[in-house]
Amino acid sequence: MDTAIAGSLPKPAWLAEPEKLWAAWRQEGEELAQAKRDAALIWIKEQEDSGLSTVCDGEQFRIHFVHGILEHIDGIDWNVKTKMGIRADRYVVDVPTVTAPVARKYSIHKAEAGYVRSHTDRKVKCTMPGPMTICDTIADGHYGSRVEMAMAFADILNQEALELEAAGADIVQFDEPAFNAFTEEAAGWGIEALERAKRGLKCKTAVHICYGYGIEANIEWKKSLGDQWRQYEAFFPALNKSSIDQVSLEFANSRVPGELMRLLPDKQVMVGVIDVATNEIETAEEVASRIRAASEFVDPDRIIACTNCGLAPLPRSVAVGKLRALGAGAALAAKSL
Ligand code: ZN
């Protein structure tokens, strides 16, 4: 059975302050560059030791999943901060502002992808924020149209994606948590922008959509969503028609009805069988039983056992425990499916 994580893992305490999103780096310059590579190497090994079939860098090279790429792009003024409600006002934050046409200055993640490739024989997944999520995390002081700005970012992501593939990525994943906040737009220009970001790629492509990290603002928001979370219903049919190969869905302690997986008959489904909102570590049997439950809605050969979302905010030991549970649970489930 294929196994992978959504993307992020905790930074070791010597690299950044643990259990905190946006934690500042503890080194700088060449020392920092080496420390990031060392951290990625630890997590490649931990993913391999857990038996995962796909590994990634755990986002050890970036401070945040969106700003990690934006800080290398021209046309963004980091001194012009705009107060903006993001993910449909779930959080209000000061965001940087686009003040000129956006353009990539140089290769951003290519060397990182090459580094992971050179240290594993497993499948390598590289992750980047999707165009809609980028546009929901930055203010527009130039384009005057969110769609137009999304397409401009999609072109930059496409340049990156082609380089990641050339560097050895087997899967390029776009993270689109914003799809849940703007479900109608997601089915329209959101998916159109994804297609633009992946054009020309021959490797597999994935989209990770989710209800966010297990942080306080999200836990509160989730309480307001009712007993059944059916947001995915609005855009899964359009995603199924798209050329994206893999789509994620939270299935561990989530209120997303499993039957929504039936809307993705032509996709591989990254089924979240690890809860990221609790420090409690799943047993292999719990994980296996979630996978067996998911197999009622999606053929087992299309299941990729996965985490609900990133593990970055968790204590390192908990994240390691959850990786082990994911690998052991998938192996257990594979015996009976
Ligand atoms: Zn997520």
Q: What is the pLDDT of residues 147-181, one digit of tens each?
A: 999 999 999 999 999 999 999 999 999 999 999 99
* 171 strand-pairing partners: 125, 204
Please give the pLDDT value at position 89. Answer: 81
Contact 278, 257 (CB under 8 A): no
pTM score, whole prediction: 0.96
Please give the pLDDT value at position 87. Answer: 80
Indicate the pairing of strand 91-104 with strand 139-140.
parallel
What stretches of 188-302 adopt beta strand conformation (E)?
204-208, 246-250, 268-274
Q: Report how far ligand 1's centroid is from the alpha carbon of 119 (Å).
A: 25
Tell me how many domains the chain contains: 1
Alpha carbons 279 and 283: distance in angstroms, whole number: 13
Q: Report how far ligand 1's centroid is from the alpha carbon of 38 (Å).
A: 24
- Region of 163 please: left (phi>0), alpha (psi -120 to 50) or beta: alpha
Q: Report how far ligand 1's centroid is from the alpha carbon of 116 (Å).
A: 21
Q: Report how far ligand 1's centroid is from the alpha carbon of 2 (Å).
A: 19
Please give the pLDDT value at position 59. Answer: 97
Query: Whole-angstrom distance between the N-terminal and C-terminal Cα of the chain?
Result: 10
Please give the pLDDT value at position 214. Answer: 72
What is the domain range of residue 292?
A: 2-336
Q: Report how far ligand 1's centroid is from the alpha carbon of 274 (Å).
A: 12
Backbone angles phi, psi at 205, to 5 degrees: -125, 150
Q: Which helix (H) or strand (E) holds 38?
A: helix 29-49
Q: Report how far ligand 1's centroid is from the alpha carbon of 310 (Å).
A: 6
H runs (alpha helix) in 208-266: 216-223, 236-241
Q: Report how far ligand 1's centroid is from the alpha carbon of 40 (Å).
A: 19
Alpha carbons 37 and 214: distance in angstroms, whole number: 26
Please give the pLDDT value at position 55. Answer: 98
Q: Report how far ligand 1's centroid is from the alpha carbon of 65 (Å).
A: 10
CATH code of residue 44: 3.20.20.210
- Region of 51 please: left (phi>0), alpha (psi -120 to 50) or beta: left
Grouping H, G, I as helix, E, B as strand and the rest as coil, residue 2 is strand
Spell 198-234 as b/e; 16+ CB within 10 A means b.
beebebbbbbbbbbbbbeeebeebbeeeeeebebbeb
Q: Report how far ligand 1's centroid is from the alpha carbon of 309 (Å).
A: 4
Place of tokens 């857990």: 50
Q: Report how far ligand 1's centroid is from the alpha carbon of 97 (Å).
A: 24
Q: What are the residues whose beta carbons fall under 8 Å from the beta carbon of 249, sequence distance 6 or more? A: 209, 232, 256, 260, 261, 269, 270, 271, 272
Indicate the pairing of strand 246-250 with strand 204-208.
parallel
Tens digits of pLDDT across the chain (337 residues): 999 999 999 999 999 999 888 889 999 999 999 999 999 999 999 999 999 999 999 999 999 889 889 999 999 999 999 998 888 788 888 999 999 999 999 999 999 999 999 999 999 999 999 999 999 999 999 999 999 999 999 999 999 999 999 999 999 999 999 999 999 999 999 999 999 999 999 999 999 999 887 778 787 888 888 889 999 999 999 999 999 999 999 999 989 999 999 999 999 999 999 999 999 999 999 999 999 999 999 999 999 999 999 999 999 999 999 999 999 999 999 999 8
Contact 288, 276 (CB under 8 A): no
CA 279 to mean position of chain CA atoms: 20
Rg (the chain; Cα; Å):
19
Q: Supply 86's token pair.
A: 């993001």
Contact 233, 263 (CB under 8 A): yes
Backbone angles phi, psi at 200, to 5 degrees: 85, -10
- Max CA distance (Å), the chain: 56
* 210 strand-pairing partners: none
Alpha carbons 209 and 181: distance in angstroms, whole number: 10
Q: Report how far ligand 1's centroid is from the alpha carbon of 308 (Å).
A: 7
Q: Report how far ligand 1's centroid is from the alpha carbon of 30 (Å).
A: 30
Q: Supply 30's token pair.
A: 């060449």
Q: Report how far ligand 1's centroid is from the alpha carbon of 314 (Å).
A: 14
Kindly list the strands in the beta sheet with 2-3, ordered across the sheet, starting from the edge strand earlier in the chain.
2-3, 303-307, 268-274, 246-250, 204-208, 171-175, 123-129, 54-55
Contact 171, 306 (CB under 8 A): no
